Structure formats: C-alpha cells, structure tokens
Amino acid sequence: MQIKMIDSCVHIHNIAPTYVFRGINAWEKSFNAIAKLGNKPLILGRGKETIGLREQLSRNLQEKGLQTYLATLHFDCCEEDLQPIANSFLENGWNSVIAIGGGKVLDAGKLLAHRLRLPCVMIPSSAATCAGWTALSNLYSLSGAFKRDIVLDNCPDLLIFDYRFIIEAPSQTLSSGIADAMAKWYEASVSAGDSRDALIQQAVLQAKSLRDQLFLEGIEAINRPGSAAWIRVVESCGLVAGLIGGLGGARCRTVAAHAIHNGLTQLEVTRNTLHGEKVAFGILAQLWLEEKIGLNPLAGNARRDLISFFHHLKIPVNLDELGLGKVTITELRQVCCFAIQPNSDLHYLPFTVTEDDLLMSLTFTDYC
Ligand SMILES: [Zn+2]
C-alpha cells in the first residue's frame, strides 16, 4: 500500500513537560518529584517580589533533606547573567535547576539547564506567559532588547503551577497573559491555518477555542481572583497556550504580533511594559496590516473587537498607552527595522509588508 505523501519530512515535537503539578498545594505534592531530579538544586530567581517565596521554598526543600542554593538574576534572560552562574555549577556540584518567577526567569532557568544538560523545574509566579511549559527560551541583551529565541532539547522536566503563588501576582500580569495567549490564534491561524497536518490542525483549532474562552471569561477572571473562571483562565494562559505551541511545533509559528514585540523591546522606553502588553499591541498592528495591506475586512472587525476587550483588561491599544507617546519617527523606524529583518516571523504574513506599511500599522492600531 502506498501512502500519499503530502509532506516527506519527519517532524519532532516537544509537546509538554514530563510532569505538571497544578492546583492548590501543588508545591507540597511535588517534593518527591523534585528530589528525584537532583539532591542539590540551584534555585534561580530575580526581583524583590519573589525573594520571600524563593527563600520559603528553599527552606521547605532543605527540610526534606535537599541541599539548596539560591542564585539571583539581575537582568532579563541574557548571557551576562547566565554565564557566571553556569561557571559556578561545576565547582559547586549543583545537579538540577529550579526557576521561580516570571517568563524571563523561567526562560533563563530552562536555558541554563539545557546548556548544562541538567533537569529543570519551573515554578511560575504569575500567569503572564506559558514559559513554564515550552521548549523555547528568548534571549535578550543586557539592556533588555530581544536578540533571538533558542529552541531547547526538551520541555521542562517538571512544571509546578500552584494557584497560591499565581494569585499573589499583580492583576496586570494576568491581563498580559491573556493577550499573549490570544496571540496564539491570531498568529497560528495566519502561519498554519491552511495546514493539512493533523497535529497542526488541532493546534490551530485549540488556539481558536482558547481565544474564545478568554473573550468569555477573561474579564471575570480579572475581577474575581480565585474563582472557577480565574482558575480556567490562569491555566489557559500558563498551560494551554504552551500545549498549543507544543502540539503545533515549529511550523505553527508566531507572525507579526511577536515580531513587533521583538522590535518594540529595542527601545529602552518599552522595558517597563510586560511581554503580553507589547504582544497585544503587536496583534492590533498585525490585524491593521491584514486589513489595510492584505485587504481582509474581517481583520478590521477582529481588531475593533479586541480594542474594546483590551480596554476592559487595561491593556495598551496605542503608542500613547504603551508609554510611547513621545517616541520619535526615528525610534519607530528602529522598531520596524528590527521587526522586518529578513529572518523575522513577520514574513509569514501572506502578503508583502514594507517598512512604511509597518510604521503606519504602529501609528494607527486603534483607528477604526
Ligand atoms: Zn509571547
């Protein structure tokens, strides 16, 4: 019997962490699984917001007989931060990495474990991204400008999604996570919407259902932390979005929304806004391009619906709200120049975009 070939490549997927512990007390339930991965874990974190949590979790593990060490990151996931810690591993005999924090801390922990070929445990302190799930790390410069993403050998060994930690995060991190998770649909439907591959088709369908669910329950989740809607929404942002990325694999790509995010990080003034806030603005700019340059009127409707939804979530919808009200044309061109590089995912848009088109999209995202 002959198989009708539509794609002769072999595709390799990193779909999910080996184990996911989720719920209230997920942390306590995970002790044995952590101990199995290594008896001398390095605990990685950053910022005063999580120092209390990191010290408490470190003490908990010490009580279970593990020898823990706390290390502090000072910047976004960057070589200058990672190299000194990597060098210390050999002399100290640490044998696993536990990262506690937001997306950039988790990215740093995954990347460190990947390079040292050590097991890795992810403990997100918010639902702002699905970084705890995926086999991908974003690398930044010392000053926080996006440089590139790095595909890792594996998804994390262990993801501990304890609601008690997530609920302590500022609500804006959840708004940001909602926007970042919604980007999965707006980008996957463009990069892989007509795919005939079974896994990719399912990933795109899930991305649509995730977007719909966040439209339905996102605002309730923000208003009622700890409710059933909140649990579904934080898990959608922190877990389901990652699952979609794993299922879709390398061919279910980001498109313009993340490319614009990457461009925006090149400006110092955007460093205070969250990843998902910049991605949200990128979604609106992408939809503007699809409507005005790709001549797709449905994209205009989608953009207007999102603007109203983002207003409720207090997500920036224009340059002014993004803190870029005083930005110069030269700086905006710098954003465009980065976002439109030849290897940028922006080029997965099904039409050609010029730098001037992109500049217009940044300026007119919230125009109806
Ligand atoms: Zn993202």
CA dist., res. 215 & res. 302, Å (int) = 12
- Quote the ligand 1 centre to 279 CA distance (angstroms): 6
Which CATH number does 254-368 carry? 1.20.1090.10
The pLDDT profile of the chain, 368 residues, written as one tens digit per residue, is 666 666 678 888 899 999 999 999 999 999 999 999 999 999 999 999 999 999 999 999 999 999 999 999 998 999 999 999 999 887 899 999 999 999 999 999 999 999 999 999 999 999 999 999 999 999 999 999 999 999 999 999 999 999 999 999 999 999 999 999 999 999 999 999 889 999 999 999 999 999 999 999 999 999 999 999 999 999 999 999 999 999 998 888 899 999 999 999 999 999 989 999 999 999 999 999 999 999 999 999 999 999 999 999 999 999 999 999 999 999 999 999 999 999 999 999 999 999 999 999 999 877 76
- Quote the ligand 1 centre to 298 CA distance (angstroms): 23
What is the model's pLDDT at position 6?
A: 61
- Quote the ligand 1 centre to 309 CA distance (angstroms): 18
Query: What number of other Cβ atoms are within 10 A of residue 3's Cβ?
Result: 5
CA dist., res. 268 & res. 275, Å (int) = 14
* CATH class as words, domain 19-166: alpha beta
What crossing angle do the helices spanning 198-223 and 171-192 adopt, rounded to 10°? 160
- Quote the ligand 1 centre to 90 CA distance (angstroms): 33
CA dist., res. 322 & res. 320, Å (int) = 5
Quote the radius of gyration of the chain (alpha carbons, Å): 20
Q: Do domains 19-166 and 254-368 have the same CATH topology?
A: no
- Quote the ligand 1 centre to 247 CA distance (angstroms): 16
What is the model's pLDDT at position 137?
A: 96
- Quote the ligand 1 centre to 161 CA distance (angstroms): 18
Half-sphere exposure of 18 (CA within 13 A, CB side): 13
What is the model's pLDDT at position 169?
A: 97
- Quote the ligand 1 centre to 227 CA distance (angstroms): 25
Q: Name the maximum alpha-carbon separation found in the chain.
A: 65
Delimit the domains of the chain by residue range: 19-166, 171-252, 254-368
- Quote the ligand 1 centre to 179 CA distance (angstroms): 9
The label of the residue with tokens 């030849």 reads 342
Q: Which residues contact 200 (CB under 8 A, 6 or more apart)?
A: 192, 247, 248, 249, 251, 252
- Quote the ligand 1 centre to 276 CA distance (angstroms): 6
What is the model's pLDDT at position 368?
A: 65
- Quote the ligand 1 centre to 131 CA distance (angstroms): 8
- Quote the ligand 1 centre to 277 CA distance (angstroms): 10
- Quote the ligand 1 centre to 99 CA distance (angstroms): 18
Q: What are the DSSP calls for 70-118, one per residue? A: EEE--SSS-HHHHHHHHHHHHHHT--EEEEEESHHHHHHHHHHHHHHT-
- Quote the ligand 1 centre to 67 CA distance (angstroms): 34
- Helix H or strand E segment including 146: strand 146-151
